[in-house]
Amino acid sequence: MSSSAFIGRQPVLNRNQQLIGYELLFRPSGEAREVGPHAELQADTDVLVNTLNNMGTSWLVGGKLAFINVGETMLTSEFLELLPPRRVILDIAPTVTPSSELLSRVRHLRSLGFGVALDDFSFEAPSAAFLDLANYVKLDVQNHDGNRFQVIAARLRSYPVIRIAERVETREQFHLCRELGMDGFQGYYFAKPETLSARVIHPTFSNTLELLNLLRLDADLPEIEAILKRDVALSYKLLRYVNSAAAGLNTTISSFSHAVTVLGYQKLYRWLTLLLVTASEDGRTPPALQKTVITRGRQMELIGRKLGLPTECCDNLFIVGMFSLLDVLFEMPMERLLEHLHLPEDIKQALENHQGRYGPYLKLVEACEDARLDNIEALAQSVGISAETLNLAHIEALTWVEDLGL
């Protein structure tokens, strides 16, 4: 009988805040966690094999890397050879004590094409013995004061490694790490941002919100055209999008009414929600944050589909996921933002306090992003989804977002 397991993930970014990969966090089921290291290893292996090798996707997220936590048991197992080495970075825990056999094993894995990362690095940690074999070194911002962090970062400059700052949780920490010349970043600042101070919505945003409301209310075409005609950026993006989407029609669409007719209200609404969460006037919104909300929306929609929910419910789940971080994107309280959006009560309850019909689904996809994966089994049970189906929805969502090319 195979164990169930869930996937958590956290973006790993380069210096320009572009996504280079995900740290994938594998967890066995509640039963497997309690029956010893071999059972945990078996559960991890089930997930590695089933979700990474057997999916009909372009290996999880296209050309991105997967950082996988490995302890001593997993390092010495033959299961690692089942993974595609060029895509995988083995994230070695700081507590792994090197023996000559283990050093030889890591050297062999490097020769197969695997990357090696040293997690929560310090020169005093046992894992420092692997430094000559490492491609990546992760420095935990939370575990060192500013001076010590700076000293370790500077000392690592003499090694041919990519230095990643992990557990970056604030804008200040991010800027400090950038100034120190760190090569990459990882942390809740990108994947679970805090709500910042309020700011006024730019006119383009208000036009987008107004269009969304008109479409939700099934307004007449002339009303929709009127909004598009007063916003150059919005109309340009729409015509560019619809002409690329309609490339097979052998015709150029130049009128708004034609564009709306070709797309249809539902598809136009979907496109506008994407536009809303990817718009950033000052470039301060991390690209990883944008990807997080789009992935949430798609994952929630897919969960609804896999559970056989009506189309309208699946659409609403998509909107909840997409809008779940609007308060962070616009630096305004969620309540104030929702005043501008005429949304069904079920959606508003989920966005304001994770309550109502769609609240449990939002809690579940948020838990998938958290390294701790707290309560994820209970949350999955509350909506009636299995571990395997949740994993599948998560991977399909990640791949879909990569295909969007945002």
pLDDT tens digits for 157-199? 999 999 999 988 888 888 889 899 999 999 877 754 322 222 3
Question: Is pLDDT above 80 for 285?
Answer: no
pLDDT score, position 342: 65
Distances (CA, A) of 55 to 66, 216, 392: 15, 36, 8
Instruction: Choose the most confident range, by mean pLDDT, from 23-27, 162-166, 316-320, 339-343.
Output: 162-166
Domains annotated for the chain, with CATH where assigned, are 5-191 (3.20.20.450), 203-404 (no CATH)
Using CA atoms, how far apart are residues 364 and 373, in angstroms rounded to an integer?
10
Nearest to 135 by CA among 107, 177, 176, 94: 107
The residue ranking higher by pLDDT, 330 or 250, is 330
Question: Is pLDDT above 80 for 241?
Answer: no
pLDDT score, position 139: 94
What's the pTM? 0.54
Question: Is pLDDT above 90 for 357?
Answer: yes
pLDDT score, position 101: 93
Using CA atoms, how far apart are residues 184 and 18, in angstroms rounded to an integer?
9
